[in-house]
Amino acid sequence: MDQPRRLILASTSRYRKGLLERLGLAFETAPPGVDEVPVPGEAPAVTALRLSIEKARALKIQFKDCLIVGSDQVASCEGARLGKPGDHATAVRQLRSLSGKTAQFDTAVSLLDARNGALQSRVVPCKVVFRTLDDPRIEAYLRKEQPYDCAGSAKSEGLGIALIARMETEDPTALVGLPLIALSEMLERAGLPVLP
């Protein structure tokens, strides 16, 4: 009987690692070492897709016979990109700018079969409508959750859900950072089904 293919997550993100663990497959993680600077004029969804592919391909020499997952997310609102805030003051500014507005989170996932070079890629968009957020609510949220490593400063899988009026997406895990519905389909096509 064939051994199952090794699965590699090209990421150091604890959020992506936690999401992939939900599928119950054995996997390893490795840093892809990809420069994530956007190309000038590049649309957010295009950036996310390009980077997800680059991350997967960055590990193909190191993991020659493996299935490699790359993923990237770009958040934007009214034409401005929303990075990870990194600190409290930036998070306050981000959440003030998102108050009552709709943000777009474009999350791409790629699966590279390093054995034969076959690549599957997809972008899963998510529109997030934020509630009107006053400063006391923003401060209370940031004190409790400290989401300084999350694009847009709101963790939907945690207390950040209270900042959101609604979301529109085909896959809620895309908002967290790894679209598991799309990835499950890709893994099945690559011969590593989540549910054999």
β-strand partners of 82: 75
CA distances from 92 to 14, 56, 126, 146, 153 (A): 23, 33, 22, 11, 8
Distance CA 156, CA 106 (A): 15
According to DSSP, the β-strands at 28-29 and 7-9 are: parallel
In a 10 Å sphere around its CB, with 0-12 CB exposed, 13-18 middle and 19+ buried, how is residue 14 labelled? exposed
Assess contact for 129 and 165: CB atoms under 8 A: yes
Q: Which of 65, 72, 134, 171 is catalytic?
A: 72
Is 72 an annotated catalytic residue?
yes
The kind and range of the H/E element at 182 are helix 180-189
Q: Residue 160 corresponds to which tokens in the numbers above?
A: 């950040």
Considering only CA atoms, which of 101, 107, 99, 97 is closest in space to residue 15? 107
- What residues are annotated to the active site? 72
